[in-house]
Chain A
Amino acid sequence: MSSRNLMRVSHLTKYFGDTPVLNDVSLEVAAGEVKGIIGPSGAGKSTLIRCLNGLEPIDSGRIWLEDTELTAARANLDRLRSRIGFVFQDFNLFTHLSVADNIRLGLRRVRRLGRDEADHIVHRELARVGLESKWQQYPAELSGGQQQRVSIARALAMEPELMLFDEPTSALDPESVGGVLRVMRSLVAEGMTMIIVSHEMAFIEAVANDVLFMAEGRVVEEGSAEQIFQHPQQRRTRQFIDGIAAALIGEASEEGGGA
Chain B
Amino acid sequence: MIYQTIRENIPYLAEGAAITLALALALLAIGLLVGVTLGLMQRYGGMAVRLLATLIERLLRAIPAVVLLFLFYYGISTFYDISSFAAASLALGLRSAAYQSQIVRGALASVPSGQMAAARAIGLTRLAAIRHVVLPQALRQAIGPWTNEALSELKDTSLAYTIGVVELMRQANYIVSASYGHTLAVYSAAALVYLLLSLAATRALARLDHRLRVPGLVH
Q: Which partner residue on chain B sits nearest A111 by CB separation?
A: B123
The docked-state distance in angstroms from the alpha carbon of A55 to that of B123 is 11
Which of A82, A90, A96, A155 is most buried by chain B, counting CB atoms within 10 A of its CB?
Answer: A96
Q: Is B185 an interface residue (CB 8 A)?
A: no
| Interface membership of A67, Cβ < 8 A | no
> How far does the Cβ of A133 sit from chain B's closest Cβ, in whole Å?
16
Residues of B within 8 A of A84 (CB): 121
Query: Is the CB of A32 closer than 8 A to any CB of chain B?
Result: no
| Contact segment of B21-29, B70-78, B111-119, B147-155 | B111-119
- B residues less than 8 Å from A118 (CB atoms): none
The reply to whether B123 and A140 form a contact with Cβ atoms under 8 Å apart is no
Q: Which residues of chain A are within 8 angstroms of B133 by Cβ–Cβ distance? A: 94, 96, 105
Say yes or no: A94 contacts B119, CB within 8 Å: yes
Verify if B137 is at the interface (C-beta below 8 Å from A). yes
| B114 A90 Cβ-Cβ under 8 A | yes
In contact, A158 and B122 (Cβ under 8 angstroms): yes
Which of A85, A93, A109, A154 is the most central at the interface, judged by chain B CB atoms within 10 Å of its CB?
A109
Q: Is B203 among interface residues, defined by CB-CB distance under 8 A?
A: no
Answer yes or no: B132 CB below 8 A from chain A CBs: yes
Given A105-B132, A138-B217, A141-B215, also A92-B123 (CB < 8 A)? no
Interface range on chain A: under 10, 10 to 19, 20 to 34, or 35 or more?
20 to 34
Bound together, the chains give a CA A140 to CA B215 distance in angstroms of 7
A:37-86 near B, CB below 8 Å: 53, 55, 78-79, 81-86
Whether the Cβ atoms of A78 and B117 lie closer than 8 Å is: no
**B residues near A138, Cβ cutoff 8 Å:** 214-217
Q: How far is the CB of B121 from chain A (nearest CB, A)?
A: 4
Q: Interface on A for B, CB 8 Å cutoff?
A: 53, 55, 78-79, 81-86, 88, 90, 92-96, 105-106, 109-110, 137-142, 151, 154-155, 158
Residues of B bordering A, CB below 8 Å: 112, 114-115, 117-125, 128, 132-133, 136-137, 140, 214-218
Q: List 17 A-B contacts (CB under 8 A).
A: A55-B117, A78-B120, A82-B123, A83-B123, A86-B122, A93-B118, A94-B119, A94-B137, A95-B115, A96-B133, A109-B124, A110-B123, A138-B215, A151-B118, A154-B122, A155-B121, A158-B122
